[in-house]
């Protein structure tokens, strides 16, 4: 990894802003990637993404992949979490704490002979 200090164009004497920035760049890939993802994009959108990637000190591929993965995590997290109002959440927890009971119909069904026909 190589790092360099980037001087700021402001005159000295200013605090905070005129501190040189440290920029580090990794010159090797940590793992080889075999799969590809291609997409079509208009010129304005591509320029917009390139500017954002440059501001984040990332390649365009790394920037787009990072943004896509973050969005995928958000979408999948929404599906993995169940949001319940407080009363419903308490009812759910109470039901989990109660021992399981079988209804008479379930007991009868489980006690009878098993008649299963497997389709080939």
| pTM of the predicted model as reported, rounded to 2 decimal places | 0.46
Predicted confidence (pLDDT) per residue in 37-64, tens digit: 899 999 999 999 999 999 999 999 999 9
Predicted confidence (pLDDT) per residue in 71-83, tens digit: 999 888 878 778 8
Domain map of the chain by residue range?
2-30+42-96
Chain-centre distance of CA 54, in angstroms?
22
46-80 as b/e: b if 16+ CB within 10 A:
eeeeeeebeeeeeeeeebbeeeeeeeeeeeeeeee
């Amino acid at each position: 990894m190589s790092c360099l200090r980037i001087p700021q164009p402001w005159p000295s004497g200013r605090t905070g802003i005129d501190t040189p920035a440290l920029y580090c760049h990794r010159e090797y890939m940590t793992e080889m990637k075999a799969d590809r993802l291609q997409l079509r994009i208009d010129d304005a959108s591509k320029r917009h993404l390139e500017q954002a990637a440059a501001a984040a000190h990332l390649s365009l591929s790394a920037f787009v992949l990072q943004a896509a993965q973050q969005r995928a995590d958000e979408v999948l997290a929404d599906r993995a979490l169940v949001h319940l109002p407080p009363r419903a959440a308490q009812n759910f927890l109470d039901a989990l704490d109660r021992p399981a009971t079988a209804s008479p119909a379930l007991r009868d069904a489980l006690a009878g002979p098993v008649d299963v026909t497997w389709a080939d």
